[in-house]
Structure formats: C-alpha cells, structure tokens
Structure 1
Amino acid sequence: METLHTLSLVVHIISGFTALLTGTAILVLRKGGKVHRRTGLVYFIALMAVAATSFVMSVIHPSPFLFMVGVFTLYLGLSGYRAVKHRLRHTGAWDLLITLLGAANAVAMVLSGHLVLMVFGGISAWLVFGDVRTYVYTLRHMPVPKLLWLQRHIGHMLGSYIATVTAFLVVNLSSSPLGMMIWFAPMVVVVPLILIWTRRYVAGPTLAADRTIE
C-alpha cells in the first residue's frame, strides 16, 4: 500500500504542477481560441488526475481534509468541462449526479469546522446554486440565458484554479509567517476575476450565444 501511496503522490505532484501551469496560462490566453481549448483540455485532465490521486492517498492514509478537497476539485472540473462541452444540453443524469456530489461535499466542508474547508464549502454551495438554477430553466422549458453555460464554465474552472493555487502555496509556503493569509490569497485574487469575466462575457439573456470571446 505504501508503494501505491508513493506512486499516487508522484502523479499527484506532477498533475498538480501541470494544472497550475496550464491554469495560469489560460488566464492570459485569448478566450475561446484554439490554444485556449487545447490548454484547457490538458488542465481538465490534470485536475482529474489530482482528484483521483487525492482519493487514493486519503484512503491509504486517512485524511478527510484531502478527500473533501479531492471531491471539491472533481466537482468543479467535471461541471466546468461539461458546461462548455454540452452548453444548454447538460441536464442529464450525470450532470445531476455531479451537482448532488458537489452539494453533499459543500455541506460536509461547511460542517467540518476547518476554516479553509468552510470557505471552500461556501464557494461550492454558490456554484451548486447556479447549477440548480440552470436545471430549473431547462427542465421547466423556461427561457435560458444564452450564455449561462459560459457563466458556469468560468465559475467552475476558476474555482478549481483557486483550489490548485491554494494547494501549491500551502505545500510550498506552509512555514511562512503570513500563516492563514496564504490560504486565502488565491480566493481574494481570483473571485473578483470570476465576477468581472462573468459580467464581461455573459451580459444577459438577450446576448447572442455565438458572441466572440476575446
């Protein structure tokens, strides 16, 4: 089991570093372009590897914290990917299951009593609410804001980037005198980006779905 844990740790580190690099690159790339899409796919695969190895390691060496962060990463990555891949056609059983997973994990994180997990839980709950709103629109055949899928994609993917950067800072700067400020720095920087880019690219329900993203 220790060999499996060591192997998982190596894959976890490589995948996490890959997600950090590609996620940072995506922030400055032209949005919606070919390079953005290809880099985004690498980022998504790296996220899934991070989540999978988190589960393995948290089982071998029991760690509720690592397990919940892994679920958090899995939920954000899958939801963000499916939002852009399926756009308005993402209300199937898989999507509902992913949202339920995110909701259950959000509750667990909030109830954990760990400050960082509680904040992550709040972010997750906010995004789950957006998922549910989308399902209500589509399942009740209500008019759906044409770029709501893009809003979900931005929110979930940048949320996963927060988790990636936070993990990197904590592992490498755990002894910093800044203490807990290290945990929250990515949230302070990236959450405003979520709000700004959502307003920029998702102007409202009358916006054309094929609007060019720059």
Structure 2
Amino acid sequence: MEPAIKILIYIHAFFGGIGLITGIGSIIVKKGKTLHKRMGKLFSIGMLTSSILSLIVCCFPNHHNIFLFLIGLFTIYLVISGNRALAFKNKTEADLIDKITSGAMLFFSVIMISLGVYCQWNTIDNGILFTFFGAFGLYMTVKDFIFFRNLSEENKNWLSKHIGKMIGALIASVTAFIVAGLGIGNIIAWIAPSILGTIYIIYWNRKLKSKIAKTIKIQV
C-alpha cells in the first residue's frame, strides 16, 4: 500500500510543479493573449489534479491530515471559481454550479474556523492556520454571493474576480512548494505567500478600476 501512496505523492508533486511554473508564467506574460490562456489552462489542470490527489492521499492510514485536506478543497474551489468567473463577461445570472461551488467552500470555511478556535483554545499547534485560511475562505465566498446578487450592477467585476481567484490558487501552489518542497513549515512560510499575493490582487484591482474609470470618462 505504501509504495502506491508514494507514487500518488510523486504524481501530486509533478502536477503541482506544473501548476507552479505555468501559474508564474501566466502572471509574467501579457494578459488575455493566447500564451496567457494556454498557460492558464495548464495551470488549472495542474492544480486541480494535484489537489484531487492530495485529497486521496490524506484519506490513507498514516497520511491523515485534516488541514491539508481542507487546503486541497480550498484550492479546488479557487481554480473552479476563478475559471467560471470568465463566463460572467457574457452572463448576468449565477447558475447552480456557481452557487454550489461557493456554498460548499463557505461550509468548509466555517469548519476551518471552528477547528482553529478549538485548536487555539486547547493550545494545539498551528491552530491559527485553520483560523487564517478559514477566515480567508469565508470572506471570499461571502463576496461571491454578494457578487451573484448584484450582477446587473457589478458585472464588470468578473475580471477582478477571475484574477483574485487564480492568484489565490497560485498562492496555494507557492505555499505548498515552500512547505512541502523546501521543508520550511513555520507559520511565516504558511502565511507570507498569502499576504504577498493579496497585495498583488489589490494592485490589480486598483489598476482595473482605474482602467474602467478612464473608459467611462472617454465614453462620456
């Protein structure tokens, strides 16, 4: 059994590496161009495959890790939601898949926060990580449902939503590389990529708002 699990872990790491490389590449190349789209597809395939395999590995004896399991689910949510955000360029109503994806992550985010509170109350190591990522997931999913309710007014935010979710998935890839690949497992290694990624997302959101404002001004 253990040799088979090791093979799964190697495959998981391989696709995670593809996700990491193509994710960084998609940031570097010009947005919206063919190369960016192709890298984005490879990034999505790599991250989804790697995350699904991590869920499977976490179910085997001696490999149980509830935190990594929930982070795997979080990554799957980010990739699926980030890709589906592109469809809102031409639609003004969220469908059942959109709501189920965000609703499921909302549910697991509450679980993560609850586990974080429990761990911190009982002085269990890394409890703050459950709280941090759970709160992050809760914030993103609540924003999803606000977005769904105001599509007629805010449908121009689809690009911001796409960028935010895909950068979030890349953050997960970078974090996995630092923690699992480099073997650095302190709290800074877990949280620093999220902080830096959030700064990058804020930068892009401001850039998009400025571009939209200029477009509106020209039209007027």
Query: Which TM-score band applies after superposition, normalised by the shorter structure?
Result: 0.7 to 0.9
The farther-off stretch of 196-205 and 64-73 is 196-205
Q: In the alignment, residue 38 of structure 1 is paired with which amino acid? A: R
Match of 1:145 among 130, 134, 154: 154
8 Å Cα contact 1:110-1:117 kept in structure 2: yes
Deviations 1:141-198 (A, max 9, x none): xx3324211111011111111111111101133357xx32222221221111101101
Deviations 1:31-80 (A, max 9, x none): 11111111000000111101210110011132211210110001000000
Aligned residue number for residue 166 of structure 2: 157
Residue 205 (structure 2) pairs with residue 198 (structure 1): yes
Cα shift at 1:3:
4.4
Matches within 5 A, 1:2-41: 2-41=2-41
Q: Structure 2 CA distance, aligned partners of 1:105 and 1:126?
A: 12
Query: What is the SS of the residue equivalent to 1:116?
Result: helix
Q: Structure 2 CA distance, aligned partners of 1:144 and 1:55?
A: 38
Cα shift at 1:205:
7.5
Residue 169 (structure 2) pairs with residue 166 (structure 1): no
Q: Structure 1 CA distance, aligned partners of 2:80 and 2:104?
A: 11
Bigger-Rg structure (1/2): 2
Aligned residue number for residue 106 of structure 2: 103
Deviations 1:78-122 (A, max 9, x none): 000111145353611111110011101111121222222321222
Cα 1:11–1:172 change in 2 (3 A) is closer
Q: Which runs of 5+ in 2 are unaligned?
A: 117-126
Q: Structure 2 CA distance, aligned partners of 1:154 and 1:8?
A: 30
Q: Structure 2 CA distance, aligned partners of 1:207 and 1:87?
A: 19
Query: What is the SS of the residue equivalent to 2:75?
Result: helix
The farther-off stretch of 79-88 and 21-30 is 79-88
Q: In the alignment, residue 84 of structure 2 is paired with which amino acid? A: R
Q: Which runs of 5+ in 1 are unaligned?
A: 210-214
Matches within 5 A, 1:25-174: 25-60=25-60, 61-89=63-91, 91-113=94-116, 114-138=127-151, 143-174=152-183
8 Å Cα contact 2:89-2:155 kept in structure 1: no
8 Å Cα contact 2:167-2:197 kept in structure 1: yes
- Larger relative contact order (CA 8 Å, sep ≥ 6): 1
Higher helix share: 2
8 Å Cα contact 2:178-2:184 kept in structure 1: no
TM-score by length of 1: 0.86
Cα 1:29–1:4 change in 2 (3 A) is same
Indicate the percent of aligned positions where both proteins have the same amino acid.
27
Cα shift at 1:129:
1.8
Cα 1:152–1:188 change in 2 (3 A) is same
Aligned residue number for residue 212 of structure 1: none
Cα shift at 1:204:
8.4
Aligned residue number for residue 119 of structure 2: none
Cα 1:207–1:117 change in 2 (3 A) is farther
Q: Give the alignment's Cα RMSD to 1 decimal.
A: 2.2
